[in-house]
Amino acid sequence: MAIMLLRNRVCKENILIQQKQILKYAIANGFSIQATEIDDCSSEEVLEERKWFKGFLRSLKPNDTILIYDLWSLTREVGELVKIFECLLRRNISLHVCDKRMVISNQTPLFVVLNMLAKQRESNLNPQKQFCKGRPKGRMSRSKFDDNRVQIVEMLEKDMAVNKIAKVLNLNRSSLKDYINSRALKELAKAKKTLFEQNRKTDLDMEQYIKQEVAKECALIAKNQTKGTK
C-alpha cells in the first residue's frame, strides 16, 4: 500500500506544498496513493514522545510504501532517522523522499543512505540551513478535544461550520474554535479534501483512457474480421 505522510507543525513547507510535490512525484512514478496520514506533532518533540508517529510506524505492513516531502517530515535528528530507517528496512518498507527524488529501501546502496544522513547532519549544524528562524515554538500540550480530532477533521472536510460541529459533538464553541485554529485543522481538512478530489480526477481520467483503448482494440478486431470475410 502506498501511503502519503504529511507533517503539519514544521516551518519548512506547509502541507499543501508537501501534498502537491508528493502527488506530482506519485503520478510521474506510477504510484496510486491509497491512504494519507498527517503528523501533527510539534517540531520540538523527540521521537520517544511522539506517540502518534510511533503508532503509525507499528501499523505499517511489510512491503508498504511511504511517500514524504523531505526527511524533516520524519525528524530532523540524524540519530532518530537511523532508528526509523532500521524500523522500515527490517520490514521491507520503502521510503520515497519526493522533493529529492530519492528512495530508501533494502536495494538502496549504503553509501546513498549515508550521504543523506551526512547532509541532514550538515543542515542541522549550519545555522544558515536551519528549518526555522527565530525563537523555537514550545511543545503543544494535550487537549481534551484530541479524542474528537478525527471527527472534527471529517466534518471540516464537509465544510461544516464550527457552530454546527460544536453542537453535534456537544462541545463549547469558543474552545473548539481555539482548538481548530491552534492545530491548523482547517488546513488539514482542506489538504485531505483536495487530495481526495485529485485522486478522484486521476481515477476518472484513467477510467476514460482505458475505455478509449478498449474501444480502439475492439475496432481493430472488427476491422480484421471484416477483412477475413472478404
Q: Quote the pLDDT of residue 135.
A: 39
- Can you tell me the distance from the alpha carbon of 181 to that of 18, in angstroms, rounded to the nearest whole number? 20
pLDDT value at position 202? 53
CATH superfamily name and code, 1-139: Resolvase, N-terminal catalytic domain (3.40.50.1390)
- Rounded CA separation 97/21 (Å): 10
Short-list 169, 174, 175, CA closest to 153: 169
Burial of 84 (0-12, 13-18, 19+ CB in 10 A): buried
Rounded Cα gap, residues 16 and 22, in angstroms: 10
Cα(128)–Cα(143) distance, integer angstroms? 35
Residue ranges per structural domain of the chain: 1-139, 141-230
pTM value?
0.58
Which residues of the chain have a pLDDT value below 70? 9-12, 124-142, 191-192, 194-230
Q: Smallest Cα–Cα separation from 47: which of 56, 37, 59?
A: 56
Instruction: Give the three cell numbers for residue 104.
Output: 530508501
CA pair distance 73, 162, nearest whole angstrom: 29
Distance of CA 97 to the CA centre of its chain: 11
